[in-house]
Structures are given as C-alpha cells and as structure tokens.
A and B are shown apart, each in its own frame.
Chain A
Amino acid sequence: MPVTDDSVATLRALLAGESAEYERLYGNLDAAARRTGYPAMIDAAFFEAVDRRFGKGKASDVVEFVGDVRSKSLTLEEQIDPRIAERLIQAVLGDGSIDDIDDKARFSTEVILLAVLIADEQLDSTGLDEFLDGARKLADRWTS
C-alpha cells in the first residue's frame, strides 16, 4: 500500500512542531494508513535523517547524540532506551540487525529521534518538504 498524503501531512505537522495540527491529522488517519503507511513513512524519514546526520560520521557520534537527546528532559530519558536508539541508528548505517526489536519500541524511539534530528537541522518549510518527499519515495518503495 503506498503512503498517502494524509500520512505525509501528519508527519510534517509532527516535525514542524504543530501540535494541534498533528493531533488532528493523526486522529483523521484511517486504520490502514495508521497501521501501514504512517509507520512506513516514519521508518523512511528516520532512515533519511540518520543517513544525513551520521552517513559520513563516526560511530562515536551516535553514542554522543543519543546521550544528548536523553539529557534534554526527564521525559525523553525515560522513554528512550539508549541501546535501542543506538542500534536503530547503527542499523541505518549498516551495522547490526534490529529484527529482535519490537515495533512499539522501534517506532516510538524512531519518532522521538526523528523529531530531534529534524529540529537540530533547523529546516525551513521548503527544506522540510524536500526531506519528506525523499522519505515518501523511500517509503513507497518499501511498501510497494
């Protein structure tokens, strides 16, 4: 099933910090999009964001990044498992496997890390749209 525009818009509202819009759009997603298209869009966007950030970096940067994210607030420290976060990033870089990570931990961690990565890039509206376009193509390839 291809990724719908609603799924892309919902993710865009999330990454832009539009809380009310995000809750509205997410509430309007149909069940199929919430169970298939939106997770695929999150996965693809996370892959692209990590590849941008750590594609030419070192493995030590991953550990440092995860530590910085968890140190921002107590809520993030509680919700992010550092080992899962590091394994997800390393998996994007080609190291290790994440098959043993359940979907709840995987997608919840990816959503948080993705929001931090995009916030750190300080993308404007156009940059955010371009980023989401690339992620959508990747998600469409994965789900097709």
Chain B
Amino acid sequence: MGADRVSDGTDTNAETVEEQPDRRPPPPPDKPGTDGYPSRADSRNGAMAANDASSQKAENQTEDNPETSQRSQEPVGERDSTSTEQPETPRRPESNEASGTDGGNTDGRRTAGSEVGTGGASELEQRPEEIGDVGGQKQALDGQVTPQDKAGSAEAGEQPADKRTGEAPSTDIGELTLADTSSVRHTVDIADRTSVGTDDPVPVSKANETPRESLDDHRDGVTDEASETGRPPVAAPESILPAGGSEDQQRIEAAPRSDTRRGEDTAHPADVETKSGQDEQPRPDGPTTGHLEEMSEVAESSEDTVAARSDKETSVERPEDPGGEVASEVESAQQAEGNSAQSKHRTYEFNVGSTPIRVRIDPVGAAVADKTIPAKDTEPEPAGDRMANAEDGKRSREDRFRKKAYEISDDTADIVGEAGKTVHDFLAERPPTGHSMTRSSPELSSAPHEGINVGDTASGIVAAGILVGELGYRAYRGVRRRRENNNAGD
C-alpha cells in the first residue's frame, strides 16, 4: 500500500507541485561527488546519524508506552486513527538515489507512506548537510508534516519557534496531499469531521464515534487507559513526545504513519497544524460540540459537498489560528479542493424550453402525487341521478337562472298574453274533479231482468210444437187402439 509511494525519481506528485503557482523554487539538486557538494557517503552517514537519534528516542518512547507499540504492530486497516497514539517507526536510512535520481524529488517530500505498508521500512533520505544548506527555505517547504523535518527538528535550535509556526501553515498545502493526507484524515480529520472522502474506507458510523473519543482524549490531555470501547488507550501528545519535543516533532510523528492513500482533501494539513494547536490548547466544549453535530449531519447527508464541509470547518477552526495566515492558506486550499470536489459531484439540469427534461419526458412521474387523505369519501354521484341540493345552492341557482335585465319587447309581451289563453283552454278541457260518495249500509242489488230473446222464443216454439205433435200422435194412437179393441170386442 505504501510501496508505491517510494520515490523512484519520477515523482508522481510533481503534477501537484506544478499546480501550485506560488510554489517556491526547489532546492538545488543533489550532486554527490561534485566539488562543493557532500559526497553520497557523507549524506548516508549524516542521515543515519540523524535517524539513529530519532530511533533511539522512539525506542525509549516505546518502552515507556508499550501499548502504543503494540498498536503500531497492528495492520494499518485495523489501526485506530489517532495521530498521537502511534509510535514512530524506526527508520532505516536509505538514500533516494538508490531508487532513482533525486532531482525529481527535490521539493522535500518524502515517501513516508511506505513505512506502514512495509512494516516500518523507512525510505527517508536524510541529508543533514542539505538540510543545513537549504536552511530556511527547505524548512519552510517541509516544515509542515514531512518526515524530513524530523532531522530539521532535531536541530530545532536553528530556527526560532515563531518562524516555524509562522511558516509552517504558509507552506503549500498541496505537498501534504502526496503521502501524508491519509494519516491526517485518520488522525485529525475524523475527529474534526472534515474528511468524508469518496475513497475513505472508514465507515461513517466509525467516523462518528472516533472523534468523540479523540476529542475527549484531547480535552483530558492524558491517556485514558480504561476506555469503554476497549480500544487501546490513546496517548496524549505530550506523553508521546520527548520532553523537549517541539511542534515540528509532533508533525513529524504524525506524518510517517500515513498509509499511502492519496487523500482528496488538501485541507488536512491545515488540520494537522490546527491540531497541534489543539494539543497545546484544548478546544473549548462549545466548538467541539458543534463539530460533532456537524459531523453527524455530514454522515446523514450524502449531498453535502466537500467544499461545504471545508467551509464549515474553516469557519470553526479559524478562531484557533492565532496568526490568521494558516486560515487564509487553508481556506484557499480548501476552496480549490472544494471546487474540484464540486465539479466532481456537480449535477446538471437540462431544460427543454423552460421546463426540465424530466417534466418534459415524464410529466406524470415528475408530478408530485397528492397523497393527502380526503376528509370524506367524495365519490361523485352519477350525473343522471345527481340530486340537486335545494337549500345550499338555491341562491346560486337563482342568480344563474335569472335574467340580467327583465325588459321584454311588446311582441314578447303579447305572446306571453296569448300563452295565458292557451293555459285557460287547457284548464277548461280538464274533466271536473268531482267528489266521491260513500254509503253507510251495504246496498242490496236486485235480480237482473232480461228481455225475451227471439232465438230463444223460436226455440221454445219449436220445442212446444214438437211436444204438441207428439202428444197428438200419442192421443190418436190411443184412440185408434181403443176403437180397434172395441171393434174386436164387438
């Protein structure tokens, strides 16, 4: 992870350097063996001597605080991100010349990130002579966080403290983004909420938890051995640093712990500077609380841009900057960073005419549905069966029905009069309504009396004729039989 940060002479960070117009000119190239320049062996010896001194300090510090050394052996991903809790890894002096020409890396940046990835193998090149030669210029360039300042800080007496504090923030912040920003992000920015980068592997929830502990530790200024979360105790910066440790040393110890992740937030160096001030003067509770609240807001809101967060951070941390120069530098750097971040997250809205394209293409989907529940069921009645509300709308119906002005012509008046006559004709044709009568007793009806029917009479006559004829025939036969009997008797 950090091996790619080893300087191979090409200096992949050169673009960042070129982007800074106010950058100071690089120090003179390393020319070993040339007259007037130290030899390579001298450089190695000087660097080894400086690193031995610092390594000895670190070993002493590790012995004093074994828990922090234990933490330094943890994998980088699992290591908690607090700058002051990680001991400085012993560095092995090695010249950058071995991996390439040092001319491309003359801006003083060092590949400190490889130390973590390779288990502490330092790739630093320490040239005390060069440091001494370059003097204030290199100190000004590297005075922020670079490991090379460690050697310079060992010779802290060369530079007054006020100059360091004054120039350290004024250095180009872009340098710190090369290798050290990730560590800064893990150590300081998480606590200060400023870094929620796109490539930040730290979960937001963790980022929310970390600063509270970190800030508490910073407030207390001592190591909290009995941490509730079970985390290794966080050592206060004062406890880690040697007795005579200066601000530069604090910065040096913060820098080499970086993983080589290239941070997007160039505002982190400023955080380092600000944090160094925080270590000396614990932040009051008011602003700290505000930081935490803002951090939670950032965690919830994914639409916030880095620029917006940087602005908030700058506005909060600005009062802590005594000189004001750091704030201005940080603000400019954050502004540049914010612009890049904004351009990355910028959203474009296309319009067709005056309406957005979303509304143009899918007006139904773009429209916000009315999800309010009506007070009552307003299902309309069928138009044909709709009941007229006589009382409520009578006045309005009257106004709609009436004429604007009742002024008819004479012809119309005559027609109206004729219509009256038609009405009277209609009413005269109507049958009289009359009235109904009821009897108090039941009415007895008489038997019907039917008249003589001709057919029935004829039938009766025929029947009577038949009967008379039969009777006459029988009477004749009786008389004849009697005569015959009489005749026979005679």
Contacts and interface: CB of A to CB of B under 8 A. Distances in A.
A8 B448 CA distance: 58
A111 to B, nearest CB: 4
Contacts of B417: 26, 34
B385 A111 contact: no
A73 B426 contact: yes
B426 A34 contact: no
25 contacts: A17-B427, A19-B427, A22-B420, A34-B413, A34-B417, A35-B408, A35-B409, A37-B406, A39-B406, A39-B413, A39-B416, A40-B403, A47-B398, A56-B388, A76-B426, A91-B400, A91-B401, A92-B401, A94-B393, A98-B401, A103-B408, A103-B412, A104-B415, A112-B422, A142-B403
Contacts of B415: 104, 107-108
Interface in A75-127: 75-76, 79, 91-94, 97-98, 103-104, 107-108, 111-112, 115-116, 119
Interface of A: 14, 17, 19, 22-23, 26, 31, 34-40, 42-43, 47, 51, 54-56, 58-60, 72-73, 75-76, 79, 91-94, 97-98, 103-104, 107-108, 111-112, 115-116, 119, 138, 141-143
Nearest to B388: A93
B423 interface: yes
A43 to B, nearest CB: 7
Contacts of A116: 426
B60 to A, nearest CB: 100
Interface of B: 384-388, 390, 393-394, 396-398, 400-403, 406-413, 415-430
Given A40-B406, A142-B406, A107 B416 contact: yes
Most buried by A among B394, B423, B424: B423
A108 B400 contact: no
A34 B393 CA distance: 30
Contacts of A115: 423, 426-427
B343 to A, nearest CB: 62
Nearest to B430: A119
B284 to A, nearest CB: 73
A58 B408 contact: no
Given A34-B413, A36-B406, A142-B406, A107 B419 contact: yes
Interface of B is mostly: helix
B408 A22 contact: no
A43 B406 contact: yes
Contact of A108 (B386, B416, B424): B416
A47 B410 contact: no
A79 B430 CA distance: 18
A47 B416 contact: no
A107 B393 contact: no
B425 A59 contact: no
Contacts of B396: 94
B366 to A, nearest CB: 37
A17 B409 CA distance: 26
Given A26-B420, A75-B422, A92-B397, A35 B387 contact: no
Most buried by B among A31, A54, A111, A119: A111
A111 B423 contact: yes
A69 to B, nearest CB: 9
B416 A59 contact: no
Nearest to B396: A94
A92 B390 CA distance: 10
Contact of A94 (B388, B403, B418, B428): B388
Contacts of B386: 59
A107 B397 CA distance: 18
Contacts of A142: 398, 402-403, 406
B432 to A, nearest CB: 12
Contacts of B422: 75-76, 79, 112
Nearest to A96: B400
A141 B394 CA distance: 14
Nearest to A32: B407
Contacts of A47: 398, 401-402
A108 B419 contact: yes
A142 B430 CA distance: 34
B401 A56 contact: no
Nearest to B393: A94
A20 B226 CA distance: 118
Given A56-B390, A119-B430, 9 more contacts: A14-B420, A26-B420, A34-B413, A39-B412, A40-B403, A98-B401, A111-B420, A141-B398, A142-B403
Contacts of A26: 417, 420
Contacts of B400: 91, 94, 97
Given A19-B421, A98-B401, A107-B416, A59 B427 contact: no
A16 to B, nearest CB: 9
Most buried by B among A26, A31, A56, A94: A94
B397 A93 contact: yes
A42 B429 contact: no
A24 to B, nearest CB: 12
A141 B399 CA distance: 10
Contacts of A55: 388, 390
A73 B431 CA distance: 13
Contacts of A143: 406
A52 to B, nearest CB: 9
Contacts of B385: 58-59
A103 B409 CA distance: 9
